[in-house]
Amino acid sequence: MSVRKLKPITPGQRFRVVNGFDAITADKPEKSLLAPLKKSGGRNSQGKMTMRHRGGGHKRRYRVIDFKRDKQDIAATVESIQYDPNRTAFIALLKYADGEKRYIIAQNGLQVGQEVVAGKSAAPEIGNALFISDIPLGTIISCIELRPGQGAVMARSAGTFAQLMAKDGKFVTVKMPSGETRLILSTCMATIGAISNSDHQLLVSGKAGRSRWLGRRPRTRPVAMNPVDHPMGGGEGRASGGHPRSRNGIPAKGYRTRTRTKKTNKYILERRKK
């Protein structure tokens, strides 16, 4: 994986850094695994805007991803590594021995032609999905379940990974990408390896138009507003702002919003870094 800095032959390309797409091996997606993706424009079922700065953007089709890895103990061959416009990570097209095709999130180092397998018979190798109880301590893992059979919900974006720290009875201790250390049931599944496209954080869009292509509309800075519009608005000249906070007054930096009485608090051994 690599990034490319473009020659500034237009103003929009002056600072632009793009993905080299070295890992991508196929241009066209698998048609049988595509689904329609409807845009909401930030509106709810009543047509009222409930999320600002959403709208427009390029038309997309959803790639149906197998987060559950429930086709167990059957070997699958990686047919191609593909780009997915709906997520930061790359995806891998698997073809199982019985002919079925499925998409999974691609791990870093996953190669075309490689065999991957899920379940009890799987070895702790990149791309294989195992029950956490069967994974050796210290292993780098990703695509982690929080409830058995739920499907992967954690460590799914580009370059992220977690680490298996300890095992104790029916729980294991996992250090999450955020730095949080928490307990997870050992009967949950996880995939070996870090997520692909780790260079995603180095990309620079170069112009405002690329945000519009992604469906993001312009956002007004709160300090440029009037006091009636935002808590950080108003003031003479640049003497405005105050403490960073949201439109409805909730502090934006360092303020804890997690409920103190949340039932899952007991599974968090160490909170994420500030």
pTM: 0.93
pLDDT: which is higher, 274 or 174 = 174
pLDDT digits (tens, 9 = 90+) for 186-243: 999 999 999 999 999 999 999 999 999 999 999 999 999 999 999 999 998 888 888 9
In the chain, the domains with their CATH numbers are 3-42+56-201 (2.40.50.140), 220-274 (4.10.950.10)
Alpha-carbon span 152 to 268, nearest angstrom: 19
Q: Which residues contact 116 (CB under 8 A, 6 or more apart)?
A: 75, 76, 78, 94, 104, 110, 127, 128, 129
pLDDT at 259 over 70: yes
Return the biggest CA–CA distance within the chain.
Answer: 71
User: Which residue is associated with the tokens 């496209």?
Assistant: 197
> Coil, helix or strand for 224?
helix
Q: In terms of C-beta density within 10 A (0-12 exposed, 13-18 middle, 19 or more buried), how is residue 256 classed?
A: exposed
- At residue 2 the predicted structure's pLDDT band, cuts being 50, 70 and 90, is confident
> Coil, helix or strand for 227?
coil
Q: What is the pLDDT of residue 241?
A: 86
Alpha-carbon span 236 to 45, nearest angstrom: 41
Q: What is the pLDDT of residue 274?
A: 67
- Which two structure tokens, joined as six digits, stand for 137? 């301590």
Q: What is the pLDDT of residue 1?
A: 65
pLDDT digits (tens, 9 = 90+) for 64-112: 999 999 999 999 999 999 999 999 999 999 999 999 999 999 999 999 9
pLDDT digits (tens, 9 = 90+) for 124-170: 999 999 999 999 999 999 999 999 999 999 999 999 999 999 999 99
Q: Which residues contact 35 (CB under 8 A, 6 or more apart)?
A: 61, 62, 63, 64
Q: What is the pLDDT of residue 171?
A: 97
- Which two structure tokens, joined as six digits, stand for 103? 């998409």
Q: How far is CA 257 from the centre of its chain?
A: 22
